[in-house]
Amino acid sequence: MVVACDDLYGGTYHLFGSELKSFGIDMTFVSFSGLVEMARKNNVISMIDNTFATPYLIQPYVQGVNVVIHSATKYIAGHSDVTAGIVAGDQDMVQRAKEKMANLGCNLGPFDAWLAGSRMERQVKNAAALAQFMKSQQAIKKVYYPESASTKGNGAIVTVELDEKANIEAFFRHLSWVKLVATLAGVETSASYPLGTSHRNMPDELIKQHGLTKHVVRISVGIEDIEDIQDAFSAALNQSM
Ligand SMILES: *Cc1c(COP(=O)(O)O)cnc(C)c1O
């Protein structure tokens, strides 16, 4: 039996919803707050996806989560050249995951392992500045950026909702050097459209509940000069109105 939060990465949501059921595992989705505490009180193994924060910002294992997974394709590698994942946590659990992976053949090649490296500090700083900048933009209705997630900052993903009057296609067309991509967390700043990519498999009801309108854009902030990033977005926002 797996209990998962309903605000998951779209791909994970889909995996849980379809594949787990085919293994005969029961699945329930609930709201996020307090899930780890509930698990601990009831002696249930807890697992968290720490892809967005990385161990640089938050270390959930130290805070009592049993198993921590990361898509290393994102910040941990981040040069858009490797597909990899990490499982960290209780020794016996990690050992079991390792054996399963070797048996099922989804282990990492040596070259991919060599490519992985990290550069969070600068991206986090840029993201905080961009989130602040976006709040002052007329074409922006809402900025989603966490507060006090960790002592080192709040991650490098800034999500914005454009004004209803804004033309979203025009916004994307005028992003100049910022690429519209299906993924996130490379070294370059990029934009993605959650409704068309990461969250396309979520049920309409959940999409609505999480405020994922057709004006929502997710920005993965890179290591460029912050002025260049701000200029690119303000130009595109101006063109959208
Ligand atoms: C991208 C992503 C994944 C999937 O990772 P891949 O390495 O692309 O398979 C899982 N969780 C989160 C939060 C992600 O952003």
Q: What is the pLDDT of residues 63-112, one digit of tens each?
A: 899 999 999 998 888 778 888 999 999 999 999 999 998 898 888 888 88
Ranges in the chain annotated CATH 3.40.640.10: 2-115
**Amino acid (1-letter code) at residue 233:** F
- Take residue 181 and report the two structure tokens written for it: 């991509």
Select from 50, 73, 157 the residue to mutate for testing ligand 1; criterion: most ligand atoms less than 8 Å from CB. 73
Cα 137 to ligand 1 centroid, rounded to whole Å: 30
pTM of the model: 0.75
Q: Is the CB of 17 under 6 A from ligand 1?
A: no
Q: Is the CB of 10 under 6 A from ligand 1?
A: no
- Take residue 234 and report the two structure tokens written for it: 């303000």
Phi-psi region of 176 (alpha: psi -120 to 50; beta: other; left: phi over 0): left
Please say whether the structural domain 120-240 has been given the CATH code 3.90.1150.10: yes
Please say whether the structural domain 2-115 has been given the CATH code 3.40.640.10: yes
Give the mean pLDDT of the chain: 91
Q: What percent of the chain has pLDDT over 70?
A: 99
- Quick check: 205 and 199 in contact, CB under 8 A? no
Ranges in the chain annotated CATH 3.90.1150.10: 120-240
